[in-house]
A and B are shown apart, each in its own frame.
Chain A
Amino acid sequence: MIELENVAYSYGGGELLSEISLKLAPGSFHFLTGPSGAGKTTFLKLCYGALIPTAGDVHLFGQDVRAMTRDDIALSRRRIGVVHQDCRFLDHLPVAENVALPLTVAGADRLEDVANMKELLSWVGLSRRADALPPELSGGERQRAALARAVIQSPDVILADEPTGNIDWEMSQRLLTLLIELNRMGKTVMIATHDLSLIRAAKSHVQARVLRIANRRLQLAGADL
């Protein structure tokens, strides 16, 4: 689905990531960890075509990102749901419309989706906040709204960048549970986090591979967690 081959990336200075190879298999569950500033966000951006590698190849669903047009990239985002580190919304639209935005821009919002939408909002516990505007939401509510938006189009892959970044432990447990449920439904999931206790909490529920960025390289973390 997403394949990286000997990828390197540099923002202009020295290389931030080097010699990275990874194949995301369908239905797999990955954690991506590493200290802040290691390049987790950068790595995820490479995975959804927001950045083009400075060396090596990235393939999204079999297509080389370098050969993809802007529209190809836009269309691939309908198959990759992303929960961004800084969840951004359209502040003038209520939560429900923001969550439905991927359908709107795909021209695919239909009446039967209203029921799905209700279900989705109650799944992330935002039923009562459906008409609120994004700036009125708490950090945790924003994260959950972002997750709902990422999955509304039923994407094949879900990439979550620090989805539990600024919420309390209980809330991050709930979010993790939601992501594990999605994985059980067959979605490929990758979560970037520097929170090791979250990874430990997940390990008992799901078979997850833990990748660590260290010294610019991607390593498979052992059982030391």
Chain B
Amino acid sequence: MNAVVAKVLGFLVGDAQADRVVPPAGFTVRLTLFTSAAMAFLMVFALALSLASGRLAATWSSELDRGATLRLSAPPEQMAAQTAVAMAVLQTTPGVATARLLSADEQRALLAPWFGPDLPLEDLPVPQLIEITETGAGFDAAGLRLRLAAEVPGAVLDDHARWRKPLVRAAGALRALGWVSILLIGAASAAMITLAANAALAANAQVIEVLRLVGATDGYIAQAFVRRFTLRALAGAAAGVVAGLIAVLLLPSAGAEATFLTGLGFRGWHWLLPLLIAPILGAVAYWATGVAARKTLEGLT
């Protein structure tokens, strides 16, 4: 481990003399700087998107577990009888795992955000709520509605699982898309750095030839180019990450109630993830220039 760290540090600090053998910064090097900055900036957003849609998918699927709700409205004197019928219907419906009457306290808690805590529930024609959980196979919502319509006309089945499922799927797909984007941005960076490195190698063909004639090994020549491009990619990516994080911080926030759009950002330790972008892009540049340099050098006599 220490040896690896020493090697990486040695590479970063480098051999000042070896650096000078390649002519100072050309156009390609500046392009590399810009490209890496732009790519890192985009990566910050792709990462924020993936993490936010991941959180959304998690929230929605935890709500999914609550299954469905039956809302029963009836004149007060019939309420008890209708409730009993509804419970009987539910208990004989295949696919319903449990059916539970919500207590008055629970109903009050649900309504409190809208009506305040001291709601006199007993005096109001508030519907009775029955919480249903499904078995893995789920129940036939249309069939249940038909039976309820016949036996308990005042019952409304609120099947939130049904409409949330596609949303959870969509959020999951969005998260996958985010990760695919991150991979694509990484691959595009590798491609662009390879092009830039190839351009630099071609522009410096005479330098390479002279170095080879005076006894430089391929490793030495490659290193001179690889180091330059890796450092530029690192510096560019670091600038891009900083810009991306500032942009994310400046996004308007809706606090705890954040919906998807306002929830785009990082939470907790996720703030550490963007810090990995610059080293990763640096490693991509190191690898891409190394491959490009070795390929070019092997083609020479």
Contact = CB atoms under 8 A, between A and B. Distances in A.
Interface residues of B, number: 24
B210 A89 contact: yes
Interface in A85-143: 88-93, 97, 101-102, 104-107, 109
Contacts of B206: 88
A70 interface: yes
Interface residues of A, number: 26
A82 B298 CA distance: 22
Interface in B1-40: 15, 17-18, 20-21, 23-24
A132 to B, nearest CB: 16
Given A50-B301, A74-B218, A109 B213 contact: no
A206 interface: no
A84 interface: yes
A187 interface: no
A105 B211 contact: yes
Contacts of B215: 74-75, 77-78, 102, 105-106, 153
Interface in B208-222: 209-220
A40 interface: no
Given A101-B214, A102-B215, A92 B301 contact: no
A97 B23 CA distance: 13
B218 A105 contact: no
B207 interface: yes
Contacts of A78: 215
Nearest to A45: B301
A105 B220 CA distance: 7
A155 to B, nearest CB: 9
Chain B CB count within 10 A is highest, among A104, A106, A109, A149, for A104
A168 interface: no
A102 B209 CA distance: 13
B213 A88 contact: yes
B278 to A, nearest CB: 29
A60 B80 CA distance: 106
A71 interface: yes
Secondary structure at the A interface, as helix, strand, loop or mixed, is loop
A51 interface: yes
A190 to B, nearest CB: 17
Given A90-B207, A104-B21, A84 B213 contact: yes
B199 to A, nearest CB: 18
Interface string A144-177: 0000010001000000000000000000000000
B28 to A, nearest CB: 16
A130 B18 CA distance: 19
B193 to A, nearest CB: 23
Contacts of A102: 214-215
Contacts of A71: 217-219
B108 to A, nearest CB: 81
Contacts of A109: 17
Given A89-B210, A90-B207, A74 B24 contact: no
Given A70-B298, A90-B207, A92-B24, A149 B217 contact: no
B17 A51 contact: no
B159 to A, nearest CB: 71
Interface in A46-77: 50-51, 70-71, 74-75, 77
Contacts of B219: 71
A42 to B, nearest CB: 12
Interface in B29-80: none
Contacts of B15: 107
Contact of B18 (A77, A89, A104): A104
14 contacts: A50-B301, A51-B301, A71-B218, A74-B217, A74-B218, A77-B213, A77-B214, A88-B206, A90-B23, A104-B17, A104-B21, A105-B211, A109-B17, A149-B214
Interface of B: 15, 17-18, 20-21, 23-24, 206-207, 209-220, 297-298, 301
Interface of A: 50-51, 70-71, 74-75, 77-78, 82, 84, 88-93, 97, 101-102, 104-107, 109, 149, 153
Q: Which 10 A-B pairs have the closest CB atoms?
A: A105-B216, A77-B215, A78-B215, A102-B214, A92-B23, A74-B217, A71-B217, A101-B214, A88-B210, A104-B17
Given A90-B211, A102-B215, 5 more contacts: A51-B301, A70-B217, A105-B217, A106-B215, A107-B15
